[in-house]
Structure 1
């Protein structure tokens, strides 16, 4: 049997909501449909944001504490709903899912890293798609710093995947000049990483806590592990397959 290409797909809140205030079931259907079409040649691991965005659809919390604790509480409420939506939709496409909650501290201990790797390998080998998110109830790194971009990169590196895809709300990384002139032009292939860092305009995403800088930092992590990173517009339908077939502009970081 030919070995399948292992892909870690990181999906941010902006992609999952299609830049609205609600999680888009249609977008999750689009992802499931593509994975189902690719399952003979590819195996997927997903790092998904969106727990806080889901919770905001259901509740408005009163708080006398810190804003970060409200977000942690929202993540705790939203995470089960997020996984339920994934399970329901993926099941319609014949796909099995599982939940994995990780913290950045897990990547600092050899025993934890081994456990993560072994568990995810068992899941993937038994045709389950792990849906990974940070354990926001006890950790605040994702909420504060990076919309899971870093978590995706660390997981991709630990599992030594073949490809790391970051689904975002732009056609990859744009040149600085083109952003300033309001005519966005995609940097299609990155060979010189130092030059790439000079092109980045630091901006935060509207729903998540990331932005293009956090994606560059994530790509630098996977690059050190010799893993290619693609930054693709996940809001567009069929974005994974279209990227494979070079039908859309996106950024490759080699």
Structure 2
């Protein structure tokens, strides 16, 4: 049997909500449909944000605690609902899914790292798609800044994936000049990574805590591990298959 290509797909809150105030079941259906089409040649690991966004749809917490603690509580409420949505939709496409909650301390201990790799390998071997999120009830790093970009890169490096796809709300990284002129042009392929850093416009996403700067920081981790990274527009339908077939503009960092 030919070895499947292992792809880590990172999906942020802006993508999952399609830049609205609600999780888009249609977007998760789009992801499931693409994975189902590619399952004979690719195996997927997903790093997904969205727990806080799900909870905000039906919960308003009153608290004298800081905003970070409120977000941690929202994540605790929203995470099982997010997984239920994934499982329901993936099942409709004949896909099996599982939940993995990780925190940064897990990447600092050799035993924890070994356990993560072994567990995900077993899941993948049995055709389960691991859906990873940060354990927000005990960690605050990605809540405050990152929207799981760094978590995705660390996981990609640990699992030695063939490709990291970061889904965002732009057609990759735009040149700074074209962005400021309001006629954005995608940087299609990156040769000089240091030069790329100078092109990045400092911005935050509307629902997540990331932005292009956090994606560049994530890419620096995957790049050091010689993992190719693509930054694609996850708001578009068929964004994975279209990128694989070079039908749409996106940024490729070799």
TM-score by length of 1: 1.00
**Equivalent position of 1:242 in the other structure:** 242
**Equivalent position of 2:114 in the other structure:** 114
Structure 2, unpaired ranges of 5+: none
**Equivalent position of 1:216 in the other structure:** 216
Correspondences of 1:5-44 after superposition (within 5 Å):
5-44=5-44
**Equivalent position of 2:229 in the other structure:** 229
Q: Deviation string for 1:135-156 (max 9, x for gaps)? A: 0001001101200000000000
Q: Deviation string for 1:155-196 (max 9, x for gaps)? A: 000000000000000000000001110100000000110000
* Matched residues, number: 254
Deviation at 1:45, TM superposition (A): 0.2
* SS in structure 1 at match of 2:45: strand
Distance (Å, rounded) in 2 between the aligned partners of 1:30 and 1:201: 29
Q: Deviation string for 1:1-55 (max 9, x for gaps)? A: 1000000000000000000000000000000000000000000000000000000
* SS in structure 1 at match of 2:226: coil
Deviation at 1:58, TM superposition (A): 1.1
**Equivalent position of 1:104 in the other structure:** 104
- The answer as to 2:187 corresponding to 1:177 is no
Correspondences of 1:127-138 after superposition (within 5 Å):
127-138=127-138
* SS in structure 1 at match of 2:10: strand
**Equivalent position of 1:151 in the other structure:** 151
Q: Which runs of 4+ in 1 moved over 3 A?
A: none
The two structures, once aligned, show a CA RMSD in angstroms of 0.4
- The answer as to 2:68 corresponding to 1:54 is no
Deviation at 1:247, TM superposition (A): 0.6
* SS in structure 1 at match of 2:145: helix
**Equivalent position of 1:186 in the other structure:** 186
* SS in structure 2 at match of 1:7: strand
**Equivalent position of 1:85 in the other structure:** 85
Structure 1, unpaired ranges of 5+: none
Distance (Å, rounded) in 1 between the aligned partners of 2:124 and 2:84: 19
**Equivalent position of 1:94 in the other structure:** 94
